Amino acid sequence: MATSKAKQTRGDLVYERLRGDILGGRYLPGDRLKFGALAADCDVSMSVLREALTRLSLEGLVTNEANVGYAVTEISVPRLRELTDARLELEGLVFGRAIGDGDLAWESSVVAAHHQMVGTRYLTGDEPVRVTDDWARAHAAFHRALLEGCANKKLLQLANGLRDEAELYRRWSQPLGQEKNRDLDGEHRRIMELALARDALGAVSALREHISHTTELLVASDIAVDGAVAT
């Protein structure tokens, strides 16, 4: 039992490391993830590495093709639009259920996650300017907190998986939120306040607008050209 627990802990560490490397830019969209090199680099067995890559595949951050192996998911405008369409339907459904199912503890977690996000530095101070890892984590935690009230954990898992996949696009785009006529903090605050007021219709509408707006800004930026990351 102790060995199994230690192995699981090691698998979690490798998963977190590879996820951070992908979102941090060490591995680029489309890069092959070779088992031998990764196992040596992470100093783990093939089984532990396969476990981590399987988890990343379920999140949409890597792909696995027969006779090719694992690779970082390529990003493109058509993929983003398809992903956004799925998120609007599923995330909206789960958020609406969270507002109906959520209790006082859920409300408190939403408020706490929002407070953490607004108090976290948004952009890096070096070049190229990117969203800080701390803010990205706080932002993800806030959106997860919004959905956590949903009693159907299968729906919740699927919705969070789509959000994880969308993170790859946000990390590879130009920083968003400082565009003219956009108040990113205000969008998040409005979603939270409507949720706490138990206005499911208004809150879901605000979340859908928030997701759609971000997608259109990403499409208008330099996320991808013909399926490849733009320079």
The answer for residues whose C-beta is within 8 angstroms of residue 31's C-beta and 6 or more apart is: 71, 72
Q: Where residue 170 falls among pLDDT bands split at 50, 70, 90?
A: confident
pLDDT digits (tens, 9 = 90+) for 92-149: 999 999 999 999 999 999 999 999 999 999 887 776 667 788 888 899 999 999 999 9
Summarize the confidence of residues 1-29 as an average pLDDT.
72
| pLDDT attached to residue 174 | 54
Judged on CB neighbours under 10 Å (0-12, 13-18, 19+), 38 is buried
CATH for the 77-220 domain, from 2.170.190.11, 1.20.120.530, 1.10.10.10, 3.40.50.720: 1.20.120.530
Sign of CA dihedral 173, 183, 207, 110: positive
Q: How far apart are CA 202 and CA 198, in angstroms?
A: 9
**pTM score:** 0.77
Place of tokens 């399987």: 54
Q: Where in the chain is the domain with CATH 1.20.120.530?
A: 77-220
Closest CA to 94 of 138, 154, 137: 154
The answer for residues whose C-beta is within 8 angstroms of residue 111's C-beta and 6 or more apart is: 192, 196
Q: How far apart are CA 86 and CA 45, in angstroms?
A: 35
pLDDT digits (tens, 9 = 90+) for 182-210: 788 999 999 999 999 999 999 999 999 99
Give the CATH architecture of domain 10-72.
Orthogonal Bundle (1.10)
